[in-house]
Copies of this chain bind each other. A is one copy, B any other.
Amino acid sequence: MSKTNPGRFFEDYRIGAVIRHAVPRTVTAGERALYHALYPARGALYSSDAFAADCGLAGSPLDDLLAFHVVFGKSVPDISLNAVANLGYAEGRWLRPVWPGDTLRAESRVIGLRENSNGTSGVVWVRTTGLNQSDEPVLEYVRWVMVRKRDPGAPAPDPVVPQLAPAVAADALVVPQGLSFAGYDFALAGEPHRWGDYAIGEVIDHVDAVTIEEAEHMLATRLWQNTAKVHFDATFREDGRRLIYGGHVISLARALSFNGLANAQMIVALNGGAHANPCFAGDTVRAWSEVLDKCETASPGVGALRLRLVAHKGAAGDLTLRAEGGKHAPHVLLDLDYWALVPL
């Protein structure tokens, strides 16, 4: 018997099954420093213990996306090792900050299954939860992936397609306990723009750009203990190129969005997202955002913006999202929909 993990195939998933993912991970100030070396992150709340304390927190939490990547990484060996494609995200919520010293683990519940008509693969929906060392959930999200069948002759399961919210509702957003933007220091944060300065439909070109190197995306992806071969092994794909982990592009675009959204401090929900086209080393990544919605919260001085975050490898200032026919334009890498907390 082979002792290596072959990954799960479509017929290995059962509706309602809970998969406890392996290898818990303690995250520290070391991961935080690496996050800042890998992405041009400048959000003051994640950069400064003093700034975070002034916002009512015990200290600076680890970046919301760092928590996401670690939890996502745990799920890869069980969910997406044999995935043909990562199809989407929905109903993502950050439920509690992750602090240096916390130990994260993850589990996923299978909530949807539908075999493809070609009989060789199917779509699996899972709701993944990240938990800390006290078994408190820190985040949850739904993702769905297309997974190969081991045996094309295996019978198709009864199709179950979950009903997913198009966006997390405003009253379902979780604001971290104690958070207050009542005494928010806009000068230290880097920009004067407050919640009221952003209008629905407004588009912001984040101006800056980063050219990605192989070493960088591999350092990141290893740090999240993501084991997908395609990110590390130059001999794996026929074209000899390593595919950059989609989450690397998310973090890069989010960090670039500081320039214009410096006060969009905390991500609290992931409404949806598509990795529209593959990203490779050598690509120069730019980002723009669109304000999709706004709401207030019950916490002092804390509002929320629903934002579309687009990463692309096109020319500076090219804000095209769609090609003819409605598909994402070929230079678009990421089309993400999230809620962020912003001072009123």
Contact = CB atoms under 8 A, between A and B. Distances in A.
Q: How many copies does the complex hold?
A: 3
A188 B3 contact: no
A215 to B, nearest CB: 4
A49 to B, nearest CB: 4
Contact of A242 (B34, B49, B77, B211): B211
Interface stretch (A40-48, A270-278, A295-303): A40-48
A222 B47 contact: no
A37 B40 contact: no
Interface residues of A, number: 76
A19 to B, nearest CB: 10
Interface string A194-218: 0001000000111111110111101
A174 interface: no
A127 interface: no
B28 A44 contact: no
Nearest to A316: B235
A3 B204 contact: yes
A33 B41 CA distance: 18
Contact of A259 (B4, B49, B219): B4
Interface stretch (A114-122, A162-170, A223-231, A332-340): A223-231
A44 B30 contact: no
A142 interface: no
Given A26-B60, A30-B31, A30-B32, A40 B190 contact: no
A39 interface: yes
Given A3-B191, A28-B32, A216-B218, A48 B235 contact: no
30 contacts: A3-B193, A22-B262, A23-B47, A23-B48, A23-B190, A24-B48, A24-B50, A26-B47, A26-B49, A28-B29, A30-B30, A30-B31, A34-B34, A36-B222, A36-B223, A37-B222, A37-B223, A41-B222, A47-B225, A49-B103, A50-B133, A208-B227, A208-B229, A209-B232, A209-B233, A209-B236, A210-B232, A210-B233, A213-B213, A216-B218
